[in-house]
Structure 1
Amino acid sequence: MLEILKMQTLIKDINLSDTHIMHFTLNGIPAKAMDYDHSICIGLFFIEKKMISESTIYYISLMLMAIEDTQDFALQLQGNYWWLWYRYTINDRRNIDDNRQDLSRKLNKLNGLVDIINSLAATLKAPKKPILGEQKIEVSRVTV
């Protein structure tokens, strides 16, 4: 795990606290990885608990489960912080360079997903303001 993660350009400040746990920053965001021999779980600091409602977390979790491309992602509450986790399965049939390149693409995807979810969380929390020129439609006057 260490070898494949050390080669990633987005990963800096690697700190091994355990033989199976590594702390680092991913594009400046606190992150950690856990080695499970057959796969690596990479957790990225997502957001402070008090900054996001539980209903928004529930909505994001449903979205992650529903979309095929994000089914290897999950949210986890640790202390007062939400973490976004990604499971990366190492392909033993490929050489280490191919696995490194594949993981690099996945880390970019993980970083992009955090940006998307953060913007989604900000949108869901945004106050409802009427759009200029928007008029209410009375349901009783609508004809089919």
Structure 2
Amino acid sequence: MTIEIRRVDQSFDRHGDLLELILRAFAYMDWRIDPPSSAHRLTPALLKEKASQECAFVAQDGGRLAGCIFLKPEPDALYIGKLAVEPTMQGRGIGRRLLVTAEATAREHGLKALRLETRIELIENHRVFSGWGFHKTAENRHAGFDRTTSIEMRRELE
């Protein structure tokens, strides 16, 4: 397996395939989280627009999409969103390679930290992100909820 990380630019024309990848990667959480994932509101057109407004990257194995990450510069950190790895390819270091890309992007923007949010119910994600050096910084709730629905995690860059 030779994974290539590629920036999603104007020449990228596989937004439908990218949406399918995200939905497959997030499917395991469908019955576990409330409210449902915002991934269900995405369309190929919305992904194309999102990629034009943020820093988006895909991981490819030959012509096959293996993963993606969307990065949004904020005043004090680079926000990581829609980090997804093809379920049949998880455990092969693709997520970590995308995270290295996020670190490089943060440095390019002069940012010294990475930030992400993960749902409160997804304990296994909390462990993975902790293993990647992230620590919990806040608990958040979606509009209309009277309980914590997500946690915010942050990783300072050296």
Instruction: Tell me whether the two structures share a fold, i.e. TM-score over 0.5.
Output: no
Bigger fraction of residues in helix: 1
